[in-house]
A and B are shown apart, each in its own frame.
Chain A
Amino acid sequence: MLENYLPIIIFIGVGLLFGSALMVIGRLMGPHNPDSEKLSPYECGFEAFEDSRMKFDVRYYLVAILFIIFDLEIAFLFPWAVVLEDIGLFGFVAMMLFLGILVVGFVYEWKKGALEWE
């Protein structure tokens, strides 16, 4: 089994190297004469003001948390889908119960308006 992963490790190395190599080439071939105006953050012609890392709506956290929960659900669904024929009706009912419980949560967040963007 492990021998199948060898190309992937090498590929990860190649993938990172490829990007880095291109960066180095671009850095070497391009001109390099910075000035303060050129290096200031882009702000449509205005002087940059305030820190750009502002606070943002807590809603983003909510979306991220919901995403984690659903991602876990997917992680549970994958092995189930692969062996569904082996585990038969019992496995099917077990998963439907699992999904049923989570659909309750999904309906709750829908009704609460957690999925609305204002």
Chain B
Amino acid sequence: MNFEQLLFYFFSTVLVAAAVMVITIRNPVKAALFLVLTFFTAACLWILLEAEFLAIALVLVYVGAVMVLFLFVVMMLDVNLVRLREGFAEYLPIGGIVAVLLVLEMAIILGPQRFGLGNFPEPAGHAADYSNTRELGRVLYTAYVYPFEIAAVILLVAIIAAIALALRRRKDSKYQDPRKQIRVEPAERLRIVKMPTEKRG
């Protein structure tokens, strides 16, 4: 076993262990942190595959951004574990069926007849100056330009959906608008009322 294989097995073990922790640990914040560890080790595995750009982008986007959102959400949840467990027996049959179906589907698609080791030639290692990012860039914006633009549209939809779901104006917040304050004219604040002097009653 050479050093690279050793690293592979080390990262895989950590990955699987962390993934198991995500679904078994009680504390949701800790579960989210184990998910971070899972992503991170997955990135390390991708580096072993020489997919440098994707690996670092995984850390940048998933660990650095998506998981921050997850943590935000999870930290604020008042998760009542007892109540969650109440429905466990009730949902078990349906959950079990779905799980079995998923495993079957994955076995059909990912089975050895399609993704077996024999179906692919062993990838050749690259030289030290190989630029994964450059290779990716050369095709992404030319050969795959339509998927690329569609990605923009999906992101646009995501922006609009996020705003539609989460934007709420608070009625009770008080704040100053300096622009309004500066532009105020005397006439808006002060009304001079002319009235005839009244006779002494």
Contacts and interface: CB of A to CB of B under 8 A. Distances in A.
A–B in direct contact per CB < 8 Å = yes
Given A64-B72, A66-B162, A69-B155, A1 B141 contact: no
Interface stretch (B17-25, B59-67, B103-111, B187-195): B59-67
Contacts of A59: 166-168
Contact of B168 (A58, A65, A79, A101): A58
A87 to B, nearest CB: 5
Nearest to B141: A91
Given A60-B72, A65-B69, A75 B162 contact: no
Interface residues of A, number: 52
A95 B126 CA distance: 29
Interface in B27-44: 44
A114 B160 CA distance: 10
Contacts of A80: 137, 140-141
A75 B61 contact: yes
B156 A104 contact: yes
B139 to A, nearest CB: 9
Query: Is the contact region of chain B dominated by helix, strand, or loop, or is it mixed?
Result: helix
Contacts of B133: 78-79, 82
Interface string A43-65: 00000000001011111111011
Interface in A66-103: 66-69, 71-76, 78-80, 82-83, 86-87, 90-91, 94-95, 97-99, 101-102
Interface stretch (B46-54, B93-101, B114-122, B178-186): B46-54
B76 A55 contact: yes
A112 to B, nearest CB: 5
A108 interface: yes
Contacts of B166: 58-59, 61-62, 65
A95 B136 CA distance: 15
A94 B149 CA distance: 8
Interface of A: 1-5, 9, 53, 55-62, 64-69, 71-76, 78-80, 82-83, 86-87, 90-91, 94-95, 97-99, 101-102, 104-106, 108-109, 112-114, 118
